[in-house]
Every structure is written in C-alpha cells, then in structure tokens.
C-alpha cells in the first residue's frame, strides 16, 4: 500500500547522468494478480475461443505498438507478438483448458512453463523470459477486460515511478511526456539505467521508497545528486528550473574536443554496435570510436561470418570515421552475448567460462578471419584502426593476441582490462600491448563477484566502488609509467562526475554511448587535472561506492 510521503522529504538513489526535472508522479500499474485455480463454468470450446481471441488481439496490439515506435523497438515488439502466436504455446493453453482450467489460468500456466524453459537455457534466451511475462500479463488483462499493465499514457507530462521497466516499456517511452524516471530496483548498469543514458532521460534508480510515492504528487528529480524532493516549494521549483537552464547552457557551450578546464585533452569517443550509429555519434561530437562491439553484428548468425561479409561492415564504419581513431574489439562472445558459432558447449558459469579471447583462441580460424577482414578494411580506408581483445586475463594471452594481430597486418594492437588479474599486472600487460581499454562493466562484475545481469545483486554492480577504482588506478599508473594510452569504455565513462575521477586515475580517453557525450564534455570542462586527481584520491579512500560518490559530489560542489 502506498502511503503519502510528507512534502519536504527527500528520497535517494543512484542518479543517471546530470539532468533535473520537475513534475507530477504517475506510478506504473502493479502487475496483475495470478489468476486463481478455479474450475471453469464454460465449456472447453468456449474457453479456448476466449483464449484464442485474446492471444490474437494481444499480438495485434503489440505489433501495432511496434509499428508506431519503429527502429529497434519494432523488432523487440515483433518478437513479442510472435510469442503470443506461438503454435506450441497455443496447443499447451488448449491442453490445460481441456484439463478444466479457465482461459486466464491456462494462459498464465502455459506462459510460465515456457518462461521456465527459456530461463533454463540461460544467456540471451533467458533474458527473453521477462518479455514473455509481459506478453502473458497483457493476454490475461485482455481476457479480464482490464487495462494492460505498462507505461501509463496520460495527456500531460509526468515523472514515471516504477519498480523497474521491461525492455518493451522502455523502448516505447514517449520522451515528450516522460519527464523523468524513478525506479525502486536496478543499479547503475541495469537495463533501465543504460537506456536512460542512451535516451538522455533524467533518471534515478534504486530509490528504496519510490513505490510509496503517490500519483499526482509533485517531485523534483535531480540526477546529479540522486535525490527526489517531494512536494517542493516555489523556491525549490525556481532553483530546479535555473539548474536545468544551466545544464542546457553548459551542454550547448561545451563543444569541440573533450578537455579539462586547464586544457588537458581527453578525447571523447563513441561506443557503437554497428556502422548505423556512426552519423549520430559524429553529430553528437564523437572524436572517434573507442569500442566497436563487433559481436553485435553477428548475434543472429548460426555460422561464422565470412571475411568478405566482415570486411564490408568494417569498411562502412571506417569510412564514416575517416581521419579519426576507431578501436575495434574482436568478437566478445559468451555469457550475456553467446554466438552459436563460438559458444557451443553449455557451461555452468558462462561468465567464468570460455568467453571473449578464450573462445576465439579455441576457434583460432575465426579470430584469424576477423583480423584479416579488419586489416583489409584498414588498407582500403583512412581511419586510424586499433584492434583489441576482450576478456584478457593473463600476460601470455596479451602476447598471443598482439603478436597474431600484428602478424596479420594490424599496426596497433591492445587489450581490454576487464578482469582484476589484468589490472593488477597492467605494467606487464602494457609491455606487450600498445594500449589498454578498461571495460568497467565486466571489471566491476568480476571485482565484486556480482553478475551484471542479476537484479538481486545490482547494488554491488557500482563502478564507484573504491576496489574497482583502485584497479583502474593501477592501469592508469602503468600506462603513465610506460607512456601508453589507457582508455575507458564501460558505462562508468558515461557518468559525468565519475568520468572526471577516471581521468584523475590516469584514463587518457573516454568512450561511451553517444548520448552521454555532451554531459561528459561539459563536466570535464568544469575541472582541472589537479581537481580530478584530488577527486580520485577522495574516491579511493572511501569505504563504499556510496561514500565515494558522496565525497566526490560534495567536493565537486565546492570546487
């Protein structure tokens, strides 16, 4: 039960980015209760007809939403519509109705069984389980004649408050109406946080008491401080409006190359998963590409891509970034991103298994093909191509990859630092590698032993944790000592204040979702290298991620 939170109170969570917004709360409706185990009073045929009609209507509604949304949301929703039309699932619903269940109960149980099957498959299929729950709820709502759960659609702008958001909900958010997002669950690397960053939505995740906020209550959502102010006074509203204006002005005035206030250059690069995002990244001021996730090109392929196929994709990207640096990552398959042609054996703990460079090395012809395709694309274009290996955990692996890449014609070969062992031996790794790029998403996952996909341990997945920052500092120190670049390409680089800390720890470039570039550029311009180093010391001496963020936020406010 939601009980009112007194005006003047503040709730706290993890802010995503720097935005601020004021508006009335609108809660995401609670999920529908589980349909009861009652015996149907209708004939089996009548129940089957009800189920059939609701499944078909739900598929049509979802498909229509997809067409309205376009882009990648269309594909997500088309896949959901297919789930409601799956013949095996429809047969299962029929069999359960024959056993005496109501259409509601039969739909609920059949989807749940399908969901459990997907979860047991793990990886990409396991993640689709949430989508299936969403479809199940929609069909049951249709059968009951009640509104489908999901993002409300009033005719005024609002602050959306939810436990967390399903991918289908986030993909369809109407950015003209959703002023801000506040969720009770989720950490800084959750799906909601990543999407909020991508779409520049003001967001605070992990706000414990968020679900006590009631519809219509006015709140100020300030991502830079991670605070939700309830029932603000006129003076609070005016201050929030002024802060929003300031942020807008800072974003538009901070143009050109990324740099600190003292002129220290910090090139700002884009993370991309296909050449399609190149024009947008350039328009947002990307000075190059710091992470090209090549595995995203082939997630649906059942066979390894040919050299020709790959070359064509790489040429397209390199042409778009002519004259600029492009860091291409060799296929990072496994765990959350399995590629069927590289990961064929089931593993109990795929994040600790044959993933990244380990999988490539076990299938060396595929790695060779990729490096040859990239070298050929490099020869035909004018971008400055760097190549790096994912999930490197030893000096020996570094040597293996950089030697092979150079043999196959690539001039600049480096490694990602995503495993604590690589950070701890960064001096030796950088003796072989031309550069290091720190993947803070995986580095946080492995340092804190917290699965980056698991909501129940999301609070551990915080790159502000001093243990993670200490490892980043090790790599920064090693890079400086040996005179080699150290980039950051995990989500941490997209958090403006953390980006300053990372530079203080020795990062020489930052790579992020293009939508984060403006805020990070503006934040860097506020501080000198000396400030950044002071913030880094403060963060390193904290006992927790929350303490580190708090200490640096306070110091930045006074700087």
Query: Contact residues for ligand PEP (CB under 6 A)?
Result: 291, 293, 332, 418, 439-442, 489-490
What does the buried/exposed string (b/e) look like for 30-52 if buried means 16 or more CB atoms within 10 Å of the residue's CB? eebeebeeeebeeebeebbebbe
State the binding partner of 484 from Mg ion, ligand PEP, none, CB within 5 to 8 A by kind: none
191 is catalytic: yes
Minimum distance of Mg ion from residue 439's CB (angstroms): 4
State the binding partner of 297 from ligand PEP, Mg ion, none, CB within 5 to 8 A by kind: none
Angle between helices 44-69 and 71-84 (to 10 degrees): 170
Tokens 């694309």 locate to 377
Handedness of CA 485, 490, 495, 501 (dihedral sign): negative
The token duo for 168 is 């289908």
* Residue 442 found at the interface with Mg ion (CB under 5 A): yes
Q: Which stretch binds Mg ion (CB under 5 A): 3-11, 249-257, 265-273, 440-448?
A: 440-448
Contact yes or no for 450/460 (Cβ under 8 A): yes
Minimum CB distance to ligand PEP smaller for 320 or for 492: 492
Residues 392-421 that bind Mg ion (CB under 5 A): 418
**What number of chain residues touch Mg ion (CB under 5 A)?**
3
Minimum CB distance to ligand PEP smaller for 369 or for 442: 442
Minimum CB distance to Mg ion smaller for 333 or for 552: 333
Torsion of CA 267, 271, 276, 279, to 10 degrees: -20
Contact yes or no for 25/214 (Cβ under 8 A): yes
Minimum distance of ligand PEP from residue 421's CB (angstroms): 15
465 is catalytic: no
Q: How far apart are CA 92 and CA 112, in angstroms?
A: 11
Give the DSSP H or E segment for 422: helix 420-424
DSSP 493: G
Q: How far apart are CA 416 and CA 398, in angstroms?
A: 10
Minimum CB distance to Mg ion smaller for 258 or for 439: 439
Minimum distance of ligand PEP from residue 487's CB (angstroms): 10
Rg (CA), the chain: 25
State the binding partner of 294 from Mg ion, ligand PEP, none, CB within 5 to 8 A by kind: none
* Residue 463 found at the interface with Mg ion (CB under 5 A): no
* Residue 491 found at the interface with Mg ion (CB under 5 A): no
Minimum distance of ligand PEP from residue 179's CB (angstroms): 29
State the binding partner of 490 from Mg ion, ligand PEP, none, CB within 5 to 8 A by kind: ligand PEP
State the binding partner of 63 from Mg ion, ligand PEP, none, CB within 5 to 8 A by kind: none
Pick the catalytic residue from 12, 64, 142, 489: 489
State the binding partner of 395 from ligand PEP, Mg ion, none, CB within 5 to 8 A by kind: none
| Listed residue (433, 441, 470) closest to 327, CA to CA | 433
Minimum CB distance to ligand PEP smaller for 225 or for 441: 441
What does the buried/exposed string (b/e) look like for 218-246 if buried means 16 or more CB atoms within 10 Å of the residue's CB? bbbbbbbbbbbbbebeeeeeebbeebbee
Minimum CB distance to ligand PEP smaller for 137 or for 370: 370
Q: How far apart are CA 277 and CA 14, in angstroms?
A: 28
**How many helices and strands (H and E) does the chain possess?**
22, 16
Minimum distance of ligand PEP from residue 291's CB (angstroms): 6
Minimum distance of ligand PEP from residue 488's CB (angstroms): 8
Q: How far apart are CA 362 and CA 124, in angstroms?
A: 22
Q: Which stretch binds Mg ion (CB under 5 A): 39-47, 434-442, 498-506, 551-559?
A: 434-442
Minimum distance of ligand PEP from residue 124's CB (angstroms): 14
* Residues in a beta bridge with 203: 16, 181
φ, ψ at 78 (rounded to 5°): -60, -40
Minimum CB distance to ligand PEP smaller for 224 or for 513: 513
Return the residue of 350, 439, 496, 506 that touches Mg ion, per CB under 5 A.
439
Pick the catalytic residue from 12, 64, 191, 465: 191
* Catalytic positions: 191, 489
The residues that touch Mg ion, with contacts defined as CB under 5 A, are: 418, 439, 442
């Amino acid at each position: 039960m939601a009980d009112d939170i007194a005006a003047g109170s503040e709730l706290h969570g993890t802010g995503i980015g720097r935005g601020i917004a004021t508006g009335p709360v609108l809660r995401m409706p609670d999920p529908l209760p589980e349909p009861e185990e009652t015996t149907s009073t209708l004939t089996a045929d009548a129940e089957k007809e009800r189920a059939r009609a609701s499944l078909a209507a739900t598929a049509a509604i979802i498909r229509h939403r997809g067409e309205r949304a376009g882009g990648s949301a269309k594909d997500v929703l088309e896949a959901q519509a297919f789930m409601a039309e799956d013949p095996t699932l429809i047969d299962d619903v029929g069999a359960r109705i024959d056993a005496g269940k109501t259409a509601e109960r039969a739909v609920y149980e059949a989807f749940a069984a399908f969901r459990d099957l997907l979860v047991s498959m793990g990886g990409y299929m396991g993640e689709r389980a949430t989508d299936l729950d969403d479809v199940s709820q929609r069909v049951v709502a249709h059968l009951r004649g009640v509104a489908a759960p999901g993002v409300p659609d009033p005719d005024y702008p609002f602050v959306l408050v939810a436990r967390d958001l399903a991918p289908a909900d986030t993909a369809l958010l109407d950015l003209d109406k959703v002023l801000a997002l506040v969720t009770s669950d989720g950490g800084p690397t959750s799906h909601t946080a990543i999407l909020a960053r991508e779409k520049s939505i003001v967001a605070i995740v992990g706000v414990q008491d968020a679900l006590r906020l009631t519809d219509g209550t006015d709140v100020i959502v300030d991502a830079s401080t991670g605070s939700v102010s309830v029932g603000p006074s006129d003076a609070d509203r005016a201050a929030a409006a002024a802060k929003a204006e300031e942020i807008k002005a800072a974003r538009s005035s901070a143009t050109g190359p990324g740099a600190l206030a003292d002129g220290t250059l910090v090139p700002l690069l884009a993370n991309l998963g296909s050449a399609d995002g190149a024009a947008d990244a350039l328009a947002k001021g990307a000075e190059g590409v710091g992470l090209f996730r090549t595995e995203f090109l082939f997630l649906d392929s059942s066979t390894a891509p040919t050299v020709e196929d790959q070359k064509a994709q790489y040429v397209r990207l390199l042409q778009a970034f002519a004259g600029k640096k492009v860091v291409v990552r060799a296929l990072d398959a496994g765990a959350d991103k399995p590629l069927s042609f590289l990961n064929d054996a089931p593993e109990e703990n795929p994040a600790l298994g044959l993933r990244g460079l380990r999988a490539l090395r076990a299938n060396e012809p595929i790695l060779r093909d990729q490096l040859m395709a990239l070298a050929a694309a490099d020869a035909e274009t004018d971008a400055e191509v760097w190549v790096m290996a994912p999930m490197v955990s030893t000096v020996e692996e570094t040597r293996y990859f950089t030697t092979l890449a150079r043999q196959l014609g690539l001039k600049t070969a480096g490694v990602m630092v995503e495993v604590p062992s690589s950070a701890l031996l960064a001096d030796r790794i950088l003796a072989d590698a031309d550069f290091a790029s720190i993947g803070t998403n995986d580095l946080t996952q492995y340092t804190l032993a917290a699965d980056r996909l698991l909501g129940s341990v999301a609070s551990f997945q915080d790159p502000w944790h001093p243990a993670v920052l200490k490892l980043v500092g090790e790599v920064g120190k090693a890079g400086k000592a040996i005179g080699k670049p150290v980039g950051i390409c995990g989500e941490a680089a997209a958090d403006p204040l953390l980006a300053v800390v990372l530079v203080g720890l020795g990062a020489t470039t930052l790579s992020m979702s293009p939508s984060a570039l403006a805020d990070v550029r503006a934040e860097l311009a506020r501080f000198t290298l000396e400030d950044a180093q002071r913030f880094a010391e403060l963060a390193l001496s904290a006992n927790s991620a929350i303490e580190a963020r708090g200490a640096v936020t306070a110091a930045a406010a006074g700087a």
